[in-house]
Structure 1
Amino acid sequence: GRLVNDITLEAAAAGELSDEDLRIRAETLRAQAQVASAADYPQLAENLTRAAELAAVPNDELLQMYELLRPGRASYETLQALAERLETVYSAQVTGKFIREAADAYRTRGLLRREA
């Protein structure tokens, strides 16, 4: 990536920036999570930790995951499998736990995909 001072409107207009130049690094997100935790913002710290975990997930797969999390798009089993994949393939333990909690909440509230 580039140094922050090299990311300018002029560089963007000239087409000199790539996605990689603008992508935040997992290490940065983890550091921000530590600051949030130390400042007694546990929810923000957990959000930043999940973001750090998801930095390793390819964008196309991330978009598929978000699609599955929309109400009525996935079965309970599909969400459980997603959590398992995040935990095993990407070592995203916090995010996997979050997906499992979402699956339980979706089941309780009737937000899972209805089988035909």
Structure 2
Amino acid sequence: MTPDGDTVTVAAAVDGTLTLDDVRMDPAVLRHQGEVAQRHGNPQLAENLFRAAELAVLEDARVLALYESLRPHRSTGEELDRLAAGLRADGATRCAALVESAATWYRRRGLLR
């Protein structure tokens, strides 16, 4: 971010004054974009944006661990079940449903560890 706090620039990224918080998406904005996508007949995009809103409030390390866990042959079914339960407990119900669906498909296709 520039010293005036208004603009994200390459120079700010290079000199280290730009942080992840400067470019992090606001969950409310993501939910609004999801609602717009839904109203305009794009349910897949809407669902992705709603899930992104849930992820935006999680710690970066947890999001990266979630990504890693969903790669084929990286998790057991029980690990994915626990991951989904943790997401559901934290209010990330759409993300939990996605993990549950992935676990079902991974079981069917032999993609679990």
| TM-score strictly above 0.5 | yes
**Cα deviation digits, residues 39-64 of structure 1 (max 9, x gap):** 00000000000000011111111111
Q: TM-score, normalised by structure 1?
A: 0.88
Q: RMSD of the alignment, in Å?
A: 1.9
* Structure 1 match to 2:41: 40
Counterparts in 2 of 1:51-66, with a 5 A limit? 51-66=52-67
* Structure 2 match to 1:110: 110
* Structure 1 match to 2:93: 93
Q: TM-score, normalised by structure 2?
A: 0.90
**How far, CA to CA, are the matches of 1:81 and 1:70 in structure 2?**
16
Displacement, 1:4?
A: 8.3
Contiguous gaps of at least 5 residues in structure 2: none
* Structure 1 match to 2:82: 81
* Structure 1 match to 2:28: 27
**How far, CA to CA, are the matches of 2:58 and 2:6 in structure 1?**
27
Aligned residues: 112
Counting aligned pairs with the same residue, the percent is 42
**How far, CA to CA, are the matches of 1:4 and 1:55 in structure 2?**
21
Question: Secondary structure of 1:6's partner?
Answer: coil
Shift in CA distance, 106/9, structure 1 to aligned 2, threshold 3 Å: same
**How far, CA to CA, are the matches of 1:36 and 1:98 in structure 2?**
19
AA aligned opposite 2:42: Y
Runs of 4+ in structure 1 deviating by more than 3 angstroms, as ranges, are: 1-5
AA aligned opposite 1:18: T
* Structure 2 match to 1:72: 73
Displacement, 1:18?
A: 1.3
